[in-house]
Amino acid sequence: MATIRVPHPVPTPEEDAKTLRKAFEGLGTDEKAIIEVLGHRTAAQRAEIAATYVMLYKETLVERLDSELSGDFRKAVILWAMDPAERDAKLANQALKNKGDQHIWVIIEVACASDPDHLMLVRKAYCSLFSSSLEEDVASRFAHEQPLGQLLARLVSSYRYTGERVDEGLTQSEAAELYEAIRKKQPHHEGVIRMLSTRNKSQLKATFNHYKQDYGKAIDEDIESSGSSQFTSMLKVAVCCIGSPEKHFAEVVRTSVLGFGTDEDSLTRAIVSRAEIDMKKIKEEYKIRYKTTLDADVIDDTSGDYKNFLLTLLGSADP
């Protein structure tokens, strides 16, 4: 489901490090060479390149990229070059410093659209980078916004079973519990928060499917129609990130390109964070929902090296 295209055979980390060094040292930076190397390597391969680069040249790759590049292209390449867990930790920390629903989306994405092992790595990286825990900072930031704060703190603190075992009996009873809470306009009920923050994703997806079969509408649609509070909006995001993250990230991209100007930070986050996970599904969902392609909207709303880099991550033909 990833969209990045890795060459075969893959150059050695030493060869890639030397190519990048040459790109930095010419008369002006060779951005095309940087895209060609980093845009066509997996996270593990990029980590090997970064380790080799610092060994050969006694400076970190990210520091050199920061000094060589500029604008949204620099932001995107640096996020891509980072260790994924450190990247998500930094994105979460930055989101906690800002206000607005779309910044809360970042916290929910990290907690719910990642697998449990990755979330553990993010929490560990967060502690190392910021000398505090993600859980602590989320609880502190949203202390006066209950029950939203409770939901977010429980989500980032969760560690879900990673297998695919599903208790079919539980799906029916918990689908009914969700329906009752939404019908009574009590989506903040403790049972709802407990369910979303503890059940494994296979169990929750089965419960969401049972919900639709039994009650005629998808749960995210019912949540949306149950009220317009910030909590219900964020609950819907959590349900989407757990049950069908491709729907959420298609919306992130679409929201970022609509209207006057482009929200480059959101566009970059969606593409960089999902290119190695489920970008093919996101592109399919995008085409179905918006009757256009994600690639076409990126082409219309971006330019230059930034556009070329995003298209590379999307697996498009090289410009």
- The answer to whether 302 is a known ligand-binding residue is yes
Helix axes 264-274, 71-81, angle to 10 degrees: 30
- Report residue 10: phi and psi, to 5°: -85, 130
- The answer to whether 83 is a known ligand-binding residue is no
- The answer to whether 309 is a known ligand-binding residue is no
- The answer to whether 220 is a known ligand-binding residue is no
Residue with tokens 């539980």: 170
Coil, strand or helix: which one is 144? coil
- The answer to whether 28 is a known ligand-binding residue is yes
Token pair of 257 as six digits: 């390109």
Residue 20 near residue 33 (C-beta atoms within 8 A): yes
Determine the Cα–Cα distance for residues 211 and 142; give it in Å rounded to an integer: 30
- Burial of residue 280 (CB within 10 Å: 0-12, 13-18, 19+) is middle
Q: b/e map of 209-237 (b: 16 or more CB within 10 Å)?
A: ebbeeebeebbbebbbebeeeebbbbbbb
- The answer to whether 24 is a known ligand-binding residue is yes
Token pair of 78 as six digits: 């640096």
Q: Looking only at Cα atoms, what is the longest distance across the chain?
A: 67
Token pair of 150 as six digits: 């409770």
Instruction: Identify residue 35 by its one-letter amino acid code.
Output: I
Q: Give the CA dihedral 21, 25, 28, 34, nearest 10 degrees.
A: 0
- The answer to whether 26 is a known ligand-binding residue is yes
Instruction: Identify residue 93 by its one-letter amino acid code.
Output: N
User: Chain-centre distance of CA 12, in angstroms?
Assistant: 29
- What are the binding residues? 24, 26, 28, 68, 261, 301-302
- What are the binding residues for Ca(2+)? 24, 26, 28, 68, 261, 301-302
